[in-house]
Structure 1
């Protein structure tokens, strides 16, 4: 039975019981929590709460010593080896620059290696497992912030999550809140129609609520803060999702039980796995996240302990603690480094941890899922926003009262983007050194008397050995994840078998190497733009499987291709050895356009899927909640809410108009006598319109939003005759 039929049937049944979703309030009565703005400049240790269960609060000093001490030893070894490579003769300034850049970049991969090695043993011995739950005591709300998303996808996900939670027998402890920041008028009306249809389907005890915010102030962080300050007092905890999140009922219940059983927990993060992806690039990411991700996440969770991080979604938060300590201040100055905090999740984790609440991850908790961008260009758009948010943390990481692991999380995020320009600089310095060796005149007369001319020289055997060690350390986390998947009989079979898993890993490594130099240039460009003061926007993320027009791909990557060709020709003319050393980078850049085109191709991804390559266990044995969400999404899509004109839909349905007006905030949105240009224009167009078609054609998106927010203009819209009544 599809959604439309089910809704009509349920409407008839509930009408007999006197229930109508359109007449019910869209939100429960408000129970506000005060959310004071925090300061990064002032903090007293006396303001930090004492642990309620100090015996459970154990700092993993040995694990941290292993990760950071081991990373330091490896970095020292790498730096010493590089020094011996470049110090065969008198070392030049360029060689010293290469040594410094190499040491910085090597330290980054050394730390990742030791953390992954810890995670490898942690997964083997079952670290970080959550207890199962039989009962719950408090009320929890599942909150999904949305911004110009497909209503079919969103409400299907919420319905599937709710069904899964109900199946645990503990459903009465949970409410569901969709908090919308949507700015597209048609999407807004589609959300309301889908919400009403879902409520009608579920009946009077749905416990599903919806709120649209007139202004998306402070974006997602502001959206959550608005919810907390209005309804936060109703709930002991909130499970925060993203628009592409799915979580099973068992996962949500176990997260909630973990928080109820830990009086010191402020945030508990799950490990979301990527599912439902079919384009080539997205399948590469999905495979990498599933096979390598648990090792990396487990290592991070083990050394972080209760000083962990928050990724902004698929986590449970103690609502009152969040309200008390996570009010984000605006940073002084203009974006990109000033203004509101862009990457809010790291900062919220830092603030709640500063106040004495623990933040940690349960990486072994199954049933937490998300999706990923479908192409290289899509992920670069998202990455630009993340880059700005992480670099903005450079102004926050020195804040008063933060614990040292918190500062490390900030530093890791910043370094994740600075690594690209540092890698680029290392490549440039390497080219300059080879150029100097081949074309610069040797310096025969230096300040110190020597019998031989001074020019850069290297130890080729040490250089080759150091390159092999570097690549081994870089690829080791992937090898750890692959080995653990191969050792697990269930995961191995669900992933297509040992041979296909190994072939898939080789494909992922190969194409990751090709995509890496493109991402290096993209991220380097983002860093340079941010340092020059260029702000990024906040566009809604594309979540569908679809390709990008070839002309857009050429426009985005033509500079990368030209740079690759010029670099390749220059390297070959300087020295064939330099060309061979740089060949992976050169190939990736020269093929940037076809690689980017292939990244978004659904056909390539589906071909790999048919041959069981880049297969994840969740594809071999799909989670029931993902299957159910896809079924419900197909039903919602049949209703056609996302394809309809919002103004026309509101005009045609009196009950929808009534429900829409009930959802609008009460009180005057403008001062009496104050003329707003957009409202005046919208009103004039409605007055001149002879039919609803005239209004739909004349009203621009901004004017449509004005109409949808104004009860008087909605009344004027409703008075327009339909098309057939014209004349």
Structure 2
């Protein structure tokens, strides 16, 4: 059999009736963060492919250090004219940390812009003649709209089949859904999708308990079925990838035996609210520059973002078993931001982790409002701060520790920025109202009044703004010089106007996000754990009452800051005015952020336009169309208990889909199950069961064949009087 006709063997199962393939277990032991030996690192298959990007790292980190030292020295000269007080030293330290943070973004942007101008903005996937190994495409889902996610996967499957390599892939829905009605709707959608695509390896699994959240969901799949596959492509519930891109990733992993994770750069699409279009534009114009810069300096010591990536199954199972962190949440327990940790552990084992930022055909969606963005940020904030417990793990590559530090700093920087503003306000307040408070450590008969070099301060402000805005300018320049990207963004003039608008709107939103992220950091430091809620993925607006409840404190703080600043000096008020105005506008800005009307208006005006709006990807249009087709099936029109009770055919199908539970350990009694069984036994009708069973008990019933039998035996009608 030649290379063109050879196809990997299919998993030996009956695809019409079996929800999952035959088990193929893989051991996935929890990795140790405390002990590690170099002997555990695998030898490199191709040492020549591991050239370290030393020059790029010199530019990124050497350049950052040089810029930070220059900025820190200039700030020191600003405040040292009359002697440096303790408060000024604090201000200087905060400035140095914040300035270092934006300096690294600048040098990364320099690398990214240079690379993209040299190599090109995007690369079309190249299809291989054949694939030797099998790949699982997995989508973890959690209380999502079944029509939308199953429609999306239908489009992905069709696209993979169109490449001619469909036999190398199976597709999995890994459900952690906790709403029984949504769960049953998922099963109905699964059956409908199999009917639409007969003979294709499409599978569905629902976990009775969503232990360890998404990481546990993926881990459960790997442990039970991972042995069937050499790789897995991990999608989020809002992910979309073309068939060519998925096949190209599988081919890249086959050709690079040292690769452990290959990450793509997902482009944001499909949303229409103001803030979603703002994020789409920023991600489309500036994102490639930042991602390319990161890819250049990190090389094969890169990172993983949790989705739209391909992972070597052996590397994942053998390296990325996540331990529980000691202590209670938010810093202990299950690792929330698992992706960074999994990448670090896989890299520690000796596999390469890298990004292909130019590879086209990878997409995702963004939150539709400022409030939804804040909810997602709260979860990410806790996960990133939790990495402070992992960053010192034994054996990690220094680049992995840098990725952890970057993630932590992305939230701590907001608190540092807020603190720097407050310290600056205190310095101005003391200079204006408080008599001698400024004595340095050296003995002196006279106070050291705060004296500032105003001209140097102004020049430093201009320099800081240039460093801060440079990555955006780089993104604008790279896009402007690329014909298809420039035309897809509305042309040179509209691209330029959109860039200015994005900078203005981002500056308006930044103070509110500073307070939101600072509040998140504080709440986590004081021990408050975040929940796990599904992300809102529609363009619906948010009630004004809810917006006011979320942002009135931000507005009040803006008023207080304005009064305090103006009472000190009109110049201080002017210095703080960007922050103050952003806080004043918190409520209307948040309302506008969730407005699809404003977003559509900007789109009609060709502002904040991205190429995917000018020329929508075919797969995105098909995914939307298939989602609407699934919606017409009215998958969520029946309550779970009623459907399983009344429809014998569906009940039989449901019992084939649910997993066989592990044998009960003697002496361990599941009180929820006992209560659910008692309620079903006591019920005289399905109406009784529906009224008495809690959502958790309903889930237990639907996962238990014995309890389903009790449910099915219940008659309709009102219970008889005792």
Question: TM-score, normalization: structure 1?
Answer: 0.94
- Do residues 159 (structure 1) and 139 (structure 2) align? no
Instruction: Quickly say closer, same or farther: Cα 1:637–1:338, change in 2 above 3 A.
Output: same
Q: CA deviation at 1:693?
A: 4.2
Alignment correspondent of 1:182: 177
Q: CA deviation at 1:46?
A: 1.6
Q: CA deviation at 1:717?
A: 2.2
Alignment correspondent of 1:94: 87
Q: CA deviation at 1:523?
A: 0.9
Contact between 1:20 and 1:200, CA under 8 Å: does it hold in 2?
A: no
1:52-71 pair list within 5 angstroms: 52-71=45-64
Q: Pick the aligned partner of 1:657 from 634, 651, 654.
A: 651
Instruction: Quickly say closer, same or farther: Cα 1:395–1:673, change in 2 above 3 A.
Output: closer
Task: Find the residue that maps to 2:496 and give its secondary structure.
Answer: helix
Distance across 1 between alignment mates of 2:421 and 2:93 = 13
Instruction: Quickly say closer, same or farther: Cα 1:112–1:632, change in 2 above 3 A.
Output: same
1:545-584 pair list within 5 angstroms: 545-584=539-578
704-713 or 687-696: which moved more?
687-696
Q: CA deviation at 1:527?
A: 0.9
Q: CA deviation at 1:485?
A: 1.3
Contact between 1:691 and 1:726, CA under 8 Å: does it hold in 2?
A: no
Q: CA deviation at 1:644?
A: 2.8
1:548-586: per-residue Cα shift (whole Å, max 9, x none)? 222221111111111110001110111000100100100
1:244-393 pair list within 5 angstroms: 244-393=238-387
Contact between 1:514 and 1:588, CA under 8 Å: does it hold in 2?
A: yes
Instruction: Quickly say closer, same or farther: Cα 1:155–1:126, change in 2 above 3 A.
Output: same
Distance across 2 between alignment mates of 1:44 and 1:722 = 65
453-462 or 114-123: which moved more?
453-462
Distance across 2 between alignment mates of 1:199 and 1:445 = 78
Alignment correspondent of 1:42: 35
Task: Find the residue that maps to 1:594 and give its secondary structure.
Answer: helix
Alignment correspondent of 1:29: 22
Alignment correspondent of 2:78: 85
1:678-706: per-residue Cα shift (whole Å, max 9, x none)? 33443444445555444334432122112
Task: Find the residue that maps to 2:171 and give its secondary structure.
Answer: strand
Q: CA deviation at 1:445?
A: 9.1
Task: Find the residue that maps to 1:330 and give its secondary structure.
Answer: coil
Alignment correspondent of 2:164: 169
Task: Find the residue that maps to 2:136 and give its secondary structure.
Answer: strand
Alignment correspondent of 2:7: none
- Do residues 498 (structure 1) and 498 (structure 2) align? no
Contact between 2:688 and 2:719, CA under 8 Å: does it hold in 1?
A: no
Alignment correspondent of 1:116: 109
Distance across 1 between alignment mates of 2:488 and 2:126 = 25
Contact between 1:384 and 1:536, CA under 8 Å: does it hold in 2?
A: yes
Distance across 2 between alignment mates of 1:446 and 1:276 = 58
Q: CA deviation at 1:726?
A: 11
Task: Find the residue that maps to 1:642 and give its secondary structure.
Answer: coil
RMSD: 2.1
Question: TM-score, normalization: structure 2?
Answer: 0.94
1:596-615 pair list within 5 angstroms: 596-615=590-609
Alignment correspondent of 2:143: 148
Alignment correspondent of 1:11: none
Distance across 2 between alignment mates of 1:85 and 1:269 = 44
Contact between 2:85 and 2:440, CA under 8 Å: does it hold in 1?
A: no
Task: Find the residue that maps to 1:544 and give its secondary structure.
Answer: coil
Task: Find the residue that maps to 1:152 and give its secondary structure.
Answer: helix
Q: CA deviation at 1:321?
A: 1.1
Distance across 1 between alignment mates of 2:661 and 2:554 = 54
Distance across 2 between alignment mates of 1:444 and 1:708 = 71
Distance across 2 between alignment mates of 1:671 and 1:49 = 39
Task: Find the residue that maps to 1:211 and give its secondary structure.
Answer: strand
557-566 or 665-674: which moved more?
665-674
Distance across 2 between alignment mates of 1:378 and 1:60 = 38
Q: CA deviation at 1:349?
A: 0.4
Distance across 1 between alignment mates of 2:354 and 2:176 = 29
Alignment correspondent of 1:394: 388
Distance across 1 between alignment mates of 2:14 and 2:341 = 42
685-694 or 459-468: which moved more?
685-694
Instruction: Quickly say closer, same or farther: Cα 1:448–1:707, change in 2 above 3 A.
Output: closer
283-292 or 699-708: which moved more?
699-708
Q: Pick the aligned partner of 1:678 from 668, 672, 676.
A: 672
1:106-148: per-residue Cα shift (whole Å, max 9, x none)? 0000010000110001111117967542321110010111111
Contact between 2:85 and 2:438, CA under 8 Å: does it hold in 1?
A: no
Distance across 1 between alignment mates of 2:160 and 2:569 = 64
- Do residues 485 (structure 1) and 479 (structure 2) align? yes
Instruction: Quickly say closer, same or farther: Cα 1:512–1:445, change in 2 above 3 A.
Output: closer
Alignment correspondent of 2:508: 514
Q: CA deviation at 1:69?
A: 0.4
Distance across 2 between alignment mates of 1:624 and 1:198 = 20
Instruction: Quickly say closer, same or farther: Cα 1:644–1:504, change in 2 above 3 A.
Output: farther
Contact between 1:343 and 1:389, CA under 8 Å: does it hold in 2?
A: yes
1:403-459: per-residue Cα shift (whole Å, max 9, x none)? 111111111111111101110110011001111111121469988687975310111
Q: CA deviation at 1:725?
A: 13
Distance across 1 between alignment mates of 2:556 and 2:49 = 58
Alignment correspondent of 2:398: 404
Alignment correspondent of 2:6: none
Instruction: Quickly say closer, same or farther: Cα 1:660–1:473, change in 2 above 3 A.
Output: same
Instruction: Quickly say closer, same or farther: Cα 1:287–1:237, change in 2 above 3 A.
Output: same
Instruction: Quickly say closer, same or farther: Cα 1:582–1:176, change in 2 above 3 A.
Output: same
Distance across 2 between alignment mates of 1:710 and 1:432 = 63
Task: Find the residue that maps to 1:87 and give its secondary structure.
Answer: helix
Instruction: Quickly say closer, same or farther: Cα 1:371–1:567, change in 2 above 3 A.
Output: same
Instruction: Quickly say closer, same or farther: Cα 1:512–1:34, change in 2 above 3 A.
Output: same
Distance across 1 between alignment mates of 2:244 and 2:346 = 26
Contact between 1:68 and 1:111, CA under 8 Å: does it hold in 2?
A: yes
Q: Pick the aligned partner of 1:196 from 191, 206, 209.
A: 191
Alignment correspondent of 1:12: none
Contact between 1:131 and 1:258, CA under 8 Å: does it hold in 2?
A: no
Matched positions, count:
707
537-546 or 182-191: which moved more?
537-546
1:240-296: per-residue Cα shift (whole Å, max 9, x none)? 110100000010011111110001000000000111011111111111001110000
Q: Pick the aligned partner of 1:462 from 456, 461, 464.
A: 456
Distance across 1 between alignment mates of 2:62 and 2:86 = 30
Distance across 1 between alignment mates of 2:315 and 2:437 = 66
